[in-house]
Structure 1
Amino acid sequence: MSAEYATFGLAPAMRAGGVLTNGDHQVHREFLDIIVNGSPLLFQLSDLDAVSPPASDIPPAIFTAHVRSLLLEADAPLPDGRYAIYGCPECEGIECGVVTAVIEADGPDVIWRDFAWQTGERADLDLNGHHGIGPLRFRGAEYRETLRPLLDAAAEPAPARRVLLIGARVAVLAKLAAALRTIGIGAEITHDAAGVPPEELRTYGAVAFGRAVGDADRAAVRTQFERAGAETAYVDGLAPIIPLLVARTESALDRRDTRQRRLTGLVAADGEAGLDVTSTCRVRLTAYRLDRLHRSHAQDVLDAVLEPGRHRIPLDPKAIRGESFVVARTTGSVLVAPVAR
């Protein structure tokens, strides 16, 4: 079988969690996406909500089994030499649908071919094949050198994502902490970070400040984290709307290079939202606002598949009356922007 060589790599990725306007929760998942020729393979699958088998938040034994499968050190888990490439972010059941491919050795090389969407024991390539992808030929040495170190890393489970919530309005922080924990992100509440050991500070991926926390107190917290050598993102006080705060926290936790994101920019002004999209995907845009009685409101503005490029989306004046924000979401990216006045 002839095919041009493709480069093989891995890069941190996430399936963004969140609290949706219909009340549903979407679980936060972290995984290593497959990078082919410098671009996430998942991006070629358009609007697929899925994670790759090397997910950092599954038990080490399962992680190791997935990696050994990709290394062809274990028999194919599905008939016809097929391996799972992407699966459901909520469970591992094939009934939810998985992307599979035949993985085989060809001399020193490794071939991925016949990609398909599969919900049963066998794939129907005519009906559900991803005909625009592959075959992909990888140099065996590069392929194995990329995957094999993961077997050593799997011996130590990756630390769970954690967020430190600092503020005076305990009721709001408690609701936010509960929502974050529901989607799989650990959260603790405190008035400040004084006395917290440096090794514990380094376990927090983000710090969220309530609106009542003053500039001096925020600066003191930042100093403590800097002294601890913690690479931490900071979320300054937004409106006390829980889905909005969850989205902002998810956005802060996303440290990926912009080349690995589907959404790279969001602004809202003059009655419209400007959104930058890097690859074809489904985008949901939601407006949140507080009214004069400090009640929260949410309105879905857009739910559509967008092509790469800059998009200008009109906003309903009623949806952005008063203090308001917009949230743009794909399966792997979340951005938040205030509506400028």
Structure 2
Amino acid sequence: MDKKILLIGRNPSVLTNLASALINEGFVVKATSVIEQASQDFNAIDFDVVAFGRGVDAATNTMLKASFLSQNPAILFVDGLAPVISLLVKQIKLAIAGKSVAEKVITSFSYEQTAPLRINVSTRIDCQLTIDLYQLDAIHTTQQKTIVSKFIKAGNHIFPVDAFPDLTSTINFLVAEANNLDLAILQLQ
């Protein structure tokens, strides 16, 4: 049976593009930008996952989750961490795969704005680590650059980045991915 996903967000173009990407992955998708009415317009019993965009404020997010849980206690939630379609697809697929917090590979992920910029990552197991920079402009066109791609041992790691790209884009995210099992996302300030 195909997994059914409800997308809730403020940006119609992101919703449309994400829905298309998920449909291409074999999911059944509904989407709404009428956020405050989502739990009245849709019943969580009809879905496996409800995914929220970053434009859904914390209070509305909490209210909707409570309402959806009362409709379907088994519903899964995904809080979109970045308006990047490929990352949102990965987040949703990880949620459906049932990756729990106890199974997290990346135990900490941070950066220090020093010269050079330092990226700090801790992992629970040996893994293939990829750290990418995603840069979005005002119309959500995305540029991606790989900063780190290497096999690392479990533990704490520091990656100095001498030739860090210009951060004049509207929104910039650092994304760490381990073994296609875990994803950590930081917005650069």
User: TM (normalized to structure 1)?
Assistant: 0.45
Aligned partner of 1:241 in structure 2 is 84
| 1:337 maps to 2:178 | no
User: Structure 1 unaligned runs (5+)?
Assistant: 1-158
Q: 3-state DSSP class of the match of 2:40?
A: coil
Within 5 A, what are the aligned runs for 1:174-193? Answer: 174-190=16-32, 191=34, 192-193=38-39
Q: 3-state DSSP class of the match of 1:172?
A: helix
From 63, 76, 98, give the equivalent of 1:232: 76
Looking at CA atoms only, which structure, 1 or 2, has the larger radius of gyration?
1
- Aligned identity (percent) is 20
**Closer, same or farther: CA 237–308 of 1 in aligned 2, 3 Å:** closer
State the number of aligned residues.
179
Aligned equivalents of 1:256, 1:237: Cα separation in 2: 16
Aligned equivalents of 2:102, 2:2: Cα separation in 1: 25
**How much has 1:294 moved relative to structure 2?**
5.1
Asked whether the equivalents of residues 250 and 334 of structure 1 are also in contact (C-alpha less than 8 Å), the reply is no
User: TM (normalized to structure 2)?
Assistant: 0.74
Aligned partner of 1:279 in structure 2 is 125
Aligned equivalents of 1:338, 1:227: Cα separation in 2: 31
Aligned equivalents of 1:293, 1:197: Cα separation in 2: 32
Aligned equivalents of 2:85, 2:94: Cα separation in 1: 14
**Closer, same or farther: CA 260–292 of 1 in aligned 2, 3 Å:** closer
**How much has 1:166 moved relative to structure 2?**
1.1
**Closer, same or farther: CA 251–215 of 1 in aligned 2, 3 Å:** same
**Closer, same or farther: CA 254–336 of 1 in aligned 2, 3 Å:** farther
From 34, 38, 49, give the equivalent of 1:205: 49
**How much has 1:214 moved relative to structure 2?**
4.6
Aligned partner of 1:296 in structure 2 is 142
**Closer, same or farther: CA 230–339 of 1 in aligned 2, 3 Å:** same
Aligned equivalents of 2:22, 2:111: Cα separation in 1: 26
Q: 3-state DSSP class of the match of 2:165?
A: helix
Aligned equivalents of 2:107, 2:96: Cα separation in 1: 14
Asked whether the equivalents of residues 174 and 188 of structure 2 are also in contact (C-alpha less than 8 Å), the reply is no
Where has structure 1 moved over 6 Å in runs of 4 or more?
A: none
Aligned equivalents of 1:258, 1:179: Cα separation in 2: 26
**How much has 1:250 moved relative to structure 2?**
4.0
